Amino acid sequence: MAMQELTFICPVCQGPLQHESQAYVCMRDQRSYPVTLGIPDFRIFHDPSVQTETEKTFTVRLAAEYPHCSFAELLACFESLIPINRSSLAAKRRLHLQTGVARGKSSLAEIQGLTKLPTRGQFLEIGCGTGPFLLAAADMFQAVVGLDISMPRLILAKKRLEEAGRPAMLTCACAESLPFSEQSFHLVVGSDMIEHVADPVKVIREGYRVLVPDGAIFLATPNRWSLTAEPHVNVWGVGFLPKGWRERYVELVQHVPYRNISLLNWFELRRLLRQTPFTRWRVILPSFPSEHTALMPVWARAAVPIYDLLRDHSLTKWLLYMFGPLFHVVCFKR
C-alpha cells in the first residue's frame, strides 16, 4: 500500500514547507504560517462564524493559561469567554462533550464492520474540536491527526490528549484546503462538520485526495428533516422552514444566532455525495451507545427503543431515512 510520510505541505500550492522555529514557510508563495503551542496555523481564510479579533484574544488567553491548567480548568476558562449561557443549550453541549469519546468508539466499531482498517494506519479528523474522537482513535491507529478551523478548541484538544497520554498531531486549517499530501491517511473522519463548511463538495474532494487507494471517509451529520429538535440550538422544526426564515425563527425562540449551518435531508445528502469523486458509499442509521443514552433526557431515552425497532425492519427503515435524527456515511475510495 502506497503511503506518504506525514508532513505538512503548503495548503495553497501543495508544495514543500520549510520548518522554522515559530513558523512554516512556503518559499514559492512567500507565505508564512505561524505556530502556537506547537500547533501550526494553515488557515487561508477565516471561519465566517468567528470574529478574528475575538478568536485571537481567546487564543492568547488560553495559551497563557495552558502551562498551569488542567483540561477541565482550561475548558471552564474557555466557556467563561463565550457569551452563550442559555441553560437548555449549555446542558445539551455538556451532554455532547461528555459522550464524545463513547460516540467516537461506537462510530469506529461501525466503520470496522464495513471496511478493514489496518492495524498501523494513519487517521485524520477534520473538525476535531476539543478532540474526543481523536482519543477514541488513538487506541486503533499508529498516527492520529486532528484538524480544526478553531485555534482555541485545538489548544483544548492538545491539553486533553496530553492528559490522557495520547499525543496527536494537531493543526489549524481550512477543511477545503488540507495541508497534507495525497494518500496520507487510511481513514478520514468528519463528525458534525459537513453541515458547517461553506463548500461541502470541496471538503469531501479534499478528503478523497488525502486517502490511500483503499481508504474510507466517515461522515456524521444531523438530518434536516429530523423530528427531534435542531441539535445546535435545541429548537424544534427549524429544518422544515424555508432557508431564509430559519435564522429569524431561531433568534426569536432561542435568542441565539443561527448562521453557517446547512443541515441536509436524505435527498440533499445523496445529491451531495453524487457530486464527489466517491462512487461507492453507505448511509447508515447509527445505533446510540449506552454511555450516550444513559445521559439523554427522559423523553429521548424513551424514544430509543422505538428508533431501534423501526431501524431493524426494512419496511419502517425508510421512515428514519426521512425523519430520523442523524446520518452516518462511509464512502470508500478504490
Q: Minimum distance between the CB of residue 29 and Zn ion, rounded to whole angstroms?
A: 4
Query: CB–CB of 204/217 below 8 Å?
Result: yes
* Cα separation, 315 vs 294, whole angstroms: 28
Residue of 167, 185, 150 lying closest to 58 (CA atoms) = 150
Q: Minimum distance between the CB of residue 28 and Zn ion, rounded to whole angstroms?
A: 5
For the chain, the first-to-last Cα distance in angstroms comes to 12
Compute the half-sphere exposure of residue 312: CA atoms within 13 Å on the CB side of its CA: 7
Q: Minimum distance between the CB of residue 26 and Zn ion, rounded to whole angstroms?
A: 3
207 by Cβ neighbours in 10 Å (0-12 / 13-18 / 19+) ranks as buried
- Residues lying near Zn ion in the complex (CB under 5 A): 10, 12-13, 15, 26, 28-29
Tell me if residue 148 falls in helix, strand or coil: strand
Query: CB–CB of 180/49 below 8 Å?
Result: no
Question: Residue 170 is placed in which grid cell?
Answer: 494537531
Q: Minimum distance between the CB of residue 30 and Zn ion, rounded to whole angstroms?
A: 9
Name the residue nearer to Zn ion (CB basis): 28 or 259: 28
Q: Minimum distance between the CB of residue 23 and Zn ion, rounded to whole angstroms?
A: 13
Name the residue nearer to Zn ion (CB basis): 10 or 174: 10
- Backbone phi, then psi, for 236, in 5-degree steps? -80, 145
Q: Minimum distance between the CB of residue 40 and Zn ion, rounded to whole angstroms?
A: 13
Q: Minimum distance between the CB of residue 176 and Zn ion, rounded to whole angstroms?
A: 15
Query: CB–CB of 183/4 below 8 Å?
Result: yes
* Cα separation, 100 vs 164, whole angstroms: 14
Residue of 116, 261, 113, 92 lying closest to 187 (CA atoms) = 116
Name the residue nearer to Zn ion (CB basis): 115 or 177: 177
Name the residue nearer to Zn ion (CB basis): 42 or 321: 42
Q: Minimum distance between the CB of residue 50 and Zn ion, rounded to whole angstroms?
A: 24
Residue of 188, 220, 198, 195 lying closest to 44 (CA atoms) = 198
Question: Residue 164 is placed in which grid cell?
Answer: 490522557
DSSP state of 238: G
Question: Residue 271 is placed in which grid cell?
Answer: 445529491
Task: Give the β-pairing of 31-36 and 23-26.
Answer: antiparallel
Tell me if residue 35 falls in helix, strand or coil: strand
Name the residue nearer to Zn ion (CB basis): 44 or 303: 44
Q: Minimum distance between the CB of residue 10 and Zn ion, rounded to whole angstroms?
A: 3
The dihedral region occupied by 314, where left means phi > 0, alpha psi between -120 and 50, and beta the remainder, is alpha
Number of residue whose CB is nearest Zn ion: 10
